[in-house]
């Protein structure tokens, strides 16, 4: 039910498989939750690269005929969440170009914080930019590097950029995977048949029958070349600061990200939340689907029964028909409905993963109250979201973030809850830290790394 | 995850509301889960009827412009699940016709068991049939009745038909709602503004802001006329035999059907199942979404933790791309994925609402075993489905119903479970009978009413 | 450029060809100019009939997959021009029904003048009508006939109807073609492979490689049965009154209708027009495409040069963009453009086939004057259209027919011509009568036959 | 009926009109015959540029809503004919980029002959190329020029390129129109309201209500700036070599190109052809629509009657249905049909504008012979096409050009004509030269300019 905070994209790369573009297609399908605006694949057969990209879901952009034109044993792919209002076909990825070493295709998950500076510098040197994507910088930097080998040029280029990037490159004969030193955005390595796969989340591995090997390390570049094992180059010393919001909301619960399972982390958050923010009630109800694992955790820890008191409707479609005056909160009600009989007269703890603008929470609580709930206590399995993200997540401006502008009590009043509480940052860290990992929590704390 | 047993349709009627066709539209949207093949609405403004129907989802068939042509203060609507392979636009409803009393539109949820006999008799008398729908019989019977008034003709007509029917009729100036004597299929009455609504499930009432009044009684005909309270005529003595499968699987959990909440009934089934069919295990996992409420019931009764160990993917789309050889059970895996980390090494009780052909259960269990479950015990919150339905549900032939052809142990072996158990019919009755209601359980027991 | 008078449809029938539905498809394609709103085909394999029909052009309604489901050695087809504003999918043809002799499909070109009387009579007898098509009457009449054999029932039925009809019927094992006693609407018989084809115009024969045999005679019924030559039954004595507007405007110039070539007839009209209505001028310019053959005839007769002074644009598409204030007469100009250099300072005779409402003629003359023509003399290769048609042509009401409400001089002034003249009815008859054929000229003369 | 030789595109520019993008839209609509694969418009409001481009016809790419986002008083547009097999959305125009002077959009009709050399040179300098369009070179050259002002940079850039180019540029505040020194491709200047329009053909002016002023001269750059008259800069001395094929086939007959009317030129060609290549016959028949004006010219000169003996079908649509064995030459017959009655037993002179591969001519002659023509003499209103074009026309390779590989007699035999003759190059020149203009006739003579 989050419509106000979004992962910007997903990347995938397949190397040494005779149906590489088909595997990329299904991987992107598994990663569709990370971006529904556009999709694209570049493939390579050792001689030249082929690229198809367009607006739409993966299943809309590709068909059998198109996949067949994407020949070759290696392929990279991308799904994209649209941010700008502009007609955005030119901002779809992969970005591909001809340059002095031949052909190059790139897919990128993340956001370059020094994007504008680099762009202005490049433009000053005579470069032209045909899209508004920060990714376009990378090709220019590689094309302008004076190194002879592509791998050295990539190192040159990434040393100039700052911010968050999980990148996969395809050249005529090789594939490269690279992650920024902080490992902001996830990227995992797997084995499929005799080949390899890298992907933003491991749910892609599960669908295509690949086996998880390990994370691509922060600061690491992997080079895939025919007939050789993947070569690892440490471009930077790793200083991990993984994006905590992957665990809070973005990633699929069945995925591993940063080497650990998402569902378990969310359940931990619910348990910690029950410890920190207990309240007497008759039942725990999640806001589906985001709140489900933490609600289960909260229920197990508190002993209060878990109930699927709000159902999610699977036949939404798009409607442009205006409601009548009897029909309040139509937009939410078309997606979510309360089990009135279950809720009537009951004290409810409703669990959600986060509050961004507060409008959806307000509608949900009104809906539960209208269904007869005697009390509605909202518990959020993450701290107040008080700061925008600069590392690849699409967040509203600070003045739209309700927690940046109101106290918890004020928010509680605004959304009409009988009480409201958030998970503390410490408790969040306890939920996700099994081996001392470090996370970027700037959206909660304002402590930006770069 | 049921693809093998389906409700055939939903009906709705709106009377005395200035935006009647709009309310019918949103009601059908709420009832979309009961049929996705075709949709249609007839409206009436006291002078003439207007009908639009077509293949597709409700949101695809209608837009603002089309709804505006459906003028008037009354409207009836229908969504349809396709059964035949034929190109089926002509089998969409409402069925509308001109006959000697003027114009008439009908929507029908159910199935007439003496359809062929009546049809042959009518054809012998010179009638022509332009569709394969049993509903077409009704208009012929009404047109051929020698009674003067439509309400008497409807009585004449329904007295000739047998089987299951929840019907709504629209004439130039009145709306009629009628339910067979057994009340096989649900039909509820509500109030919206100054007008009335009848619908297959109350989830339609919730979306349009209507208030539930009561069930349309089995054997009852309601007549809606401008400026009068709805008039009730008892056409038959009621001998209720409600379709039990509405509670088991079809209806939305947030709906009332037969006057009671569906979620609660399903949870009861899970509790009874836990009593009848306990087994030691580490966690309860539902097959989403159908198995969720009964799994919660099973967990609460048994004390074994409930976990959302299988997730449902919301971005399915349609793909015609063939999988590679590494990709087993693609069709299921695109919809459902196991939380591997949660399941690995664990003893799982997986709960589903029913087993029809057995193929999906087999794939799910294989998926869980591949994810590392040490034991998988399947528990089904209904008895073995051994008989096809003749009262409006689309079931496979008996030779495709696995429970009609194998013992429980054989099914267990076939699907690869460590154990398998069904809810007994007695326990099912305990789950749903709060006030001595009677149900049609022919699909489980073979005891057909007619 | 006629948008104001339209043929209502085309029919085709194929018998004894293993790719019958494919031949029907291509025949309909050749007849697409007679109706673009909907298309349909019924096929039969001796066991049962299959029907597909939908809104749209023939190429939109059918694809390879759909044609393959239309199995069998016989097929009938229809394209339809929409008249009503209602959502008209239910008014597409073939009309098919089950009745006491089995299955029946009908396609109909024409209009029944006693449609309402028959319909009311049938409704009084208990019949129901599910469309607004007069064709539905026919199935009822056949179903209610007490004759034993279909051919006798068809005779029974057509004896009750009045008006214009070229009909093709498909039963389980036979095909029937039938034309009203006046032969209002055309219907030709041809041979294709070892089988037969009937079609509204012979341009369908040319496309599918069929050979023209003869006209289906007015009042004749042809019965096609496997293993036999077509059997001819004279249902009525023929009293031919062919629709003259087929020659004036509807039929394709490369077709034979009523046994004679359309282009030649139109050229004759132009020659007669030159004799009757000469005027001094520098060039003859047709309004494309309708005016081309008669303009050639006029030019050959008068000795004044023929020039393609108005071109027709083939990339029209549909646009909903409003023009700017500089852009007058956009709708006409997007279709037709003057060759300004050719026309400037010249005296032009512009030839069109008819004037219905007068608005298009007015725009064309304004366009020619703006292009610099010193004089524009309009010559129409048919008499003034003063009366609506009741025999299957879609005409505006009499008060919209400019020639029913203004004198020729008044029309000339209204459209801005320097002179205007029509072909006389006598001259029209001379143009088309090679062997004493008789025509229905009610639209020009008001002499209705029935 | 040419499918084997095609104009590659059309350009348009509007300056100083409050509905600039709407005028660009309608202009492109009038120019749709020059390219149907993709369309695009960039507009500018003095602050920033907006661009929308996509695959499809102009009416498919744009709607009211999209046009409204293209704000501003200036706009440039492009329609494109696809050449490559690749998925070509990235090759649509306008090409737009950010560079050191700000934003720039370009549309280009033509072909740069030193495209590869420049591209390699630019790549060597570190440039990246994201499309396969030669137009991309121009932006790089402008971005890398060391001049301060855009107009000087454009001069710098065009001095480096060779070949054919009619270009329109849009910067933040100005519009530039530029034509190569030879004036290969057409470009005319007009006045609309208080603003200006440049377009490939004047048929665009007629539709939008603009007035023709003059040609943009070969080698001239026009600069449009708010509040000033267009400024003209002579970049090169003009050495005109206009593409003769615009007159032979590409341009619309109602257009002026190179300052003269196309229809008149084509008619002249027909007259010259009649003088050079007379033959006894009963009628002149054009291959529509290309052959119509020259056939009229041939008829007027020879005194042999002109007849529209082959008609063009306007409802083609696309079909993927395979023909049956009775159906020969389906593809041609769906577009063109002979008037059999007219042709039977007659000696025909059939006139077409050119022969490229010869296959279509062969099918047309076979069709005429099958329709009963006693003799078919083909006359072509241009010389044999023996050489491919390098200046912006899409021609087959030399080995596919029938006239490059066979003598006229051999071609005549191949296509099955009783005789075949082409217009001589001298006569062609006489047809088009009213004031001593010079033309590029490389496709006929092999004399390439550059």
Taking 50 as the threshold, does the pLDDT of residue B112 lie above it? yes
- Span(s) in chain C for CATH 3.40.50.2020: 265-432
Nearest to D339 by CA among D313, D316, D368: D368
Nearest to C162 by CA among C210, C113, C198, C127: C113
The predicted pLDDT at position C252 comes to 96
User: ipTM score here?
Assistant: 0.94
- Span(s) in chain B for CATH 3.40.50.2020: 263-434
The predicted pLDDT at position B172 comes to 96
Neighbours of A145 (CB within 10 A): 21
Inter-chain contact D33–C315, Cβ cutoff 8 Å? yes
Share of residues in chain B with pLDDT > 70 (%): 97
Instruction: Using an 8 Å CB-CB cutoff, list chain C residues near B95.
Output: 130
The predicted pLDDT at position B3 comes to 65
Query: Which chains have at least 3 CB atom pairs separated by less than 8 Å from chain A?
Result: B, D
Q: What is the pLDDT of residues A123-145, one digit of tens each?
A: 999 999 998 899 999 999 999 99
Q: Does C123 touch chain B (CB under 8 A)?
A: yes
Beta strands (DSSP E) in B302-366 are: 310-312, 336-338, 347-352
CA atoms of C203 and C196, how far apart (whole Å): 15
Q: What is the pLDDT of residues D370-390, one digit of tens each?
A: 999 999 999 999 999 999 999
Task: Give the pLDDT band of residue D322 (cuts 50, 70, 90).
Answer: confident
CA atoms of A283 and A272, how far apart (whole Å): 17
Q: What is the pLDDT of residues A205-257, one digit of tens each?
A: 999 999 999 999 999 999 999 999 999 999 999 999 999 999 999 999 999 99
Inter-chain contact D128–A97, Cβ cutoff 8 Å? yes
CA atoms of B379 and D327, how far apart (whole Å): 62
CB-count burial class (<10 Å; 0-12, 13-18, 19+) for A419: middle
- Span(s) in chain D for CATH 3.40.50.2020: 264-434
The predicted pLDDT at position D89 comes to 66
Model pTM? Answer: 0.91
Which runs of consecutive H residues, i.e. helices, occur in B303-432?
330-335, 340-343, 359-370, 402-405, 408-415, 425-432
Of D54, D98, D124, the CB nearest to A128: D98
For A29, half-sphere exposure in the C-beta direction (CA atoms, 13 angstrom radius) is 27
**Do chain A and D touch: 3 or more Cβ pairs under 8 angstroms?**
yes
Q: In Å, how far is A11's CA from the nearest CA of chain D?
A: 20
- Cβ pair D179, D220 in contact under 8 A: yes
CA dist list (Å): A377 to A284, A303, A306: 9, 16, 14
CA atoms of A255 and C30, how far apart (whole Å): 57
Phi, psi (5° rounding) for residue D356? -105, -70
For the domain made up of A265-431, the CATH class stated in words is alpha beta
What's domain B263-434's architecture? 3-Layer(aba) Sandwich (3.40)
The predicted pLDDT at position A84 comes to 45
Taking 50 as the threshold, does the pLDDT of residue D84 lie above it? no
Pair of tokens at residue D225: 């700036």
The predicted pLDDT at position A85 comes to 41
Which runs of consecutive H residues, i.e. helices, occur in A171-278?
203-208, 245, 262-276
Taking 60 as the threshold, does the pLDDT of residue D338 lie above it? yes
Report CA Rg, chain C.
23
- Cβ pair C188, C207 in contact under 8 A: no
Interface test with B, best of C98, C103, C157 (most B CBs within 10 A): C98
Overall average pLDDT of the B40-54 stretch: 94
CA dist list (Å): D220 to A126, D12, D136, D162, D234: 26, 16, 21, 15, 5
CA atoms of C200 and C177, how far apart (whole Å): 11
Nearest to B321 by CA among A209, A60, A32: A60
The predicted pLDDT at position B1 comes to 52
- Span(s) in chain A for CATH 3.60.20.10: 6-240
3-state secondary structure C98-138: EECCEEEEEEEEEEECCHHHHHHHHHHCCCCECCCCCHHHH
Neighbours of D123 (CB within 10 A): 19
Higher pLDDT, B84 or B115: B115
For the domain made up of D264-434, the CATH class stated in words is alpha beta
CA atoms of A259 and A445, how far apart (whole Å): 24
**Do chain B and C touch: 3 or more Cβ pairs under 8 angstroms?**
yes
Inter-chain contact D143–A124, Cβ cutoff 8 Å? no
CA atoms of D213 and D211, how far apart (whole Å): 6
Nearest to B141 by CA among B153, B151, B126, B129: B153
Q: Does B430 touch chain C (CB under 8 A)?
A: no
Q: Give me chain B's average pLDDT, please.
A: 93
- Cβ pair B76, B42 in contact under 8 A: yes
CA atoms of B187 and C182, how far apart (whole Å): 56
Q: What is the pLDDT of residues D160-215, one digit of tens each?
A: 999 999 999 999 999 999 999 999 999 999 999 999 999 999 999 999 999 999 99
Higher pLDDT, C214 or A435: C214
The label of the residue with tokens 């002078």 reads B47
* CA A22, chain centre distance (Å): 22
Inter-chain contact D23–C324, Cβ cutoff 8 Å? yes
Nearest to C266 by CA among C280, C287, C281: C287
Q: What is the pLDDT of residues D409-424, one digit of tens each?
A: 999 999 999 999 999 9
CA dist list (Å): B252 to A218, A315, B38, B201, B213: 46, 12, 19, 8, 19
**Would you say the C-alpha torsion D169, D175, D180, D185 has a positive or negative sign?**
positive
Q: In what side-by-side order are the strands of the sheet with A174-179?
A: A95-99, A102-112, A163-170, A174-179, A220-225, A231-234
The predicted pLDDT at position D83 comes to 56
CB-count burial class (<10 Å; 0-12, 13-18, 19+) for D280: exposed
User: Helix D135-144 to helix D115-124 angle, to the nearest 10 degrees?
Assistant: 40
The predicted pLDDT at position A331 comes to 85
Phi, psi (5° rounding) for residue C180? -60, 165
Q: Which fold has domain C265-432?
A: Rossmann fold (3.40.50)
Share of residues in chain D with pLDDT > 70 (%): 97
CA atoms of A168 and A189, how far apart (whole Å): 12
Which runs of consecutive H residues, i.e. helices, occur in B288-358?
292-302, 330-335, 340-343
**Would you say the C-alpha torsion A247, A253, A258, A259 has a positive or negative sign?**
positive
CA atoms of A304 and A379, how far apart (whole Å): 14
Concatenating the DSSP letter of every residue in C59-111 gives HHH--HHHHHHS-SSEEEEEEE---SSS--GGG-S-EEEEETTEEEEEEEEEE
What DSSP element (H or E) covers C443? Answer: helix C442-445
Low-confidence ranges of chain C (pLDDT < 50): 84-86
The predicted pLDDT at position C298 comes to 98
CA atoms of C297 and C278, how far apart (whole Å): 13
Instruction: Using an 8 Å CB-CB cutoff, list chain C residues near B124.
Output: 100
Q: What is the pLDDT of residues A367-391, one digit of tens each?
A: 999 999 999 999 999 999 999 999 9
| Chain C residues 306-325 with CB within 8 Å of chain D | 306-308, 311-315, 317-324
Degrees, nearest 5: CA angle B198-B201-B203: 105
Taking 90 as the threshold, does the pLDDT of residue D300 lie above it? yes
Q: In what side-by-side order are the strands of the sheet with D102-112?
A: D95-99, D102-112, D163-170, D174-179, D220-225, D231-234
Taking 90 as the threshold, does the pLDDT of residue A73 lie above it? yes
Instruction: Using an 8 Å CB-CB cutoff, list chain B residues near C140.
Output: 126, 128
- Cβ pair B124, B76 in contact under 8 A: no
Nearest to D215 by CA among D252, D166, D172, D263: D166
Nearest to B181 by CA among B204, B196, B159: B159
Q: What is the pLDDT of residues B247-287, one digit of tens each?
A: 999 999 999 999 999 999 999 999 999 999 999 999 999 99
Instruction: Using an 8 Å CB-CB cutoff, list chain A residues near D124.
Output: 100
Q: Which fold has domain C6-240?
A: 3.60.20
| Chain B residues 138-197 with CB within 8 Å of chain C | 139-140, 143-144
């Amino acid at each position: 039910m989050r419509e106000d905070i979004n992962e910007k994209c997903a990347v995938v790369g397949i190397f040494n498989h005779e149906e590489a573009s088909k595997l990329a297609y299904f991987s992107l399908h598994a990663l569709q939750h990370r971006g529904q605006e556009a999709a694209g694949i570049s493939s390579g057969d050792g001689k030249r690269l082929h690229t198809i990209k367009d607006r739409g879901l993966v299943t809309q952009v590709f068909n059998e005929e198109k996949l067949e034109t994407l020949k070759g044993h290696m392929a990279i792919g991308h799904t994209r969440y649209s941010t700008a209002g502009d007609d955005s076909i030119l901002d779809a990825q992969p970005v591909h170009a001809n340059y002095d070493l031949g052909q190059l295709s790139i897919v990128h998950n993340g956001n370059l914080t020094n994007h504008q500076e680099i762009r202005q510098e490049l433009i000053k040197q005579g470069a032209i930019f045909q899209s508004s994507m920060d990714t376009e910088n990378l090709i220019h930097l590689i094309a302008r590097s004076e190194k002879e080998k592509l791998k050295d040029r990539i190192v040159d280029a990434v040393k100039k950029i700052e911010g968050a990037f999980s990148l996969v490159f395809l050249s005529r004969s090789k594939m490269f995977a690279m992650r920024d030193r902080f490992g902001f955005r996830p990227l995992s390595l797997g084995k499929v048949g005799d080949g390899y796969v890298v992907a933003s989340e491991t749910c892609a591995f599960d669908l295509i029958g690949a086996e998880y090997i390990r994370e691509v390390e922060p600061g690491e570049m992997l080079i895939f070349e025919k007939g050789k094992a993947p070569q690892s180059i440490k471009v930077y010393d790793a200083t991990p600061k993984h994006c905590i919001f992957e665990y809070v909301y973005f990633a699929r619960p069945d995925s591993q990200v940063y080497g650990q399972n998402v569902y378990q982390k969310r359940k931990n958050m619910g348990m910690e939340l029950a410890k920190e923010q207990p309240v007497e009630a008759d039942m725990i109800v999640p806001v589906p689907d985001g709140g489900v694992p933490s609600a289960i955790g909260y229920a197990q820890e508190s002993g209060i029964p878990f109930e699927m008191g709000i159902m999610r409707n699977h036949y939404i479609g798009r409607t442009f028909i205006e409601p009548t005056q009897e029909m309040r909160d139509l937009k939410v009600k078309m997606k979510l409905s309360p089990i009135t009989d279950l809720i009537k007269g009951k004290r409810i703890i409703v669990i959600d993963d986060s509050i961004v603008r507060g409008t959806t929470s307000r509608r949900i609580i009104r809906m539960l109250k209208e269904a007869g709930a005697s009390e509605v206590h909202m518990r959020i399995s993450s701290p107040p979201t008080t700061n925008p993200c600069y590392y690849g997540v699409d967040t509203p401006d600070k003045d739209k973030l309700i927690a940046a502008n109101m106290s918890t009590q004020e928010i509680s009043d605004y959304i009409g809850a009988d009480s409201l509480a958030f998970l503390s940052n410490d408790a969040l860290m306890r939920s996700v830290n099994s081996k001392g990992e470090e996370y970027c929590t700037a959206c909660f704390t304002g402590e930006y790394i770069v």
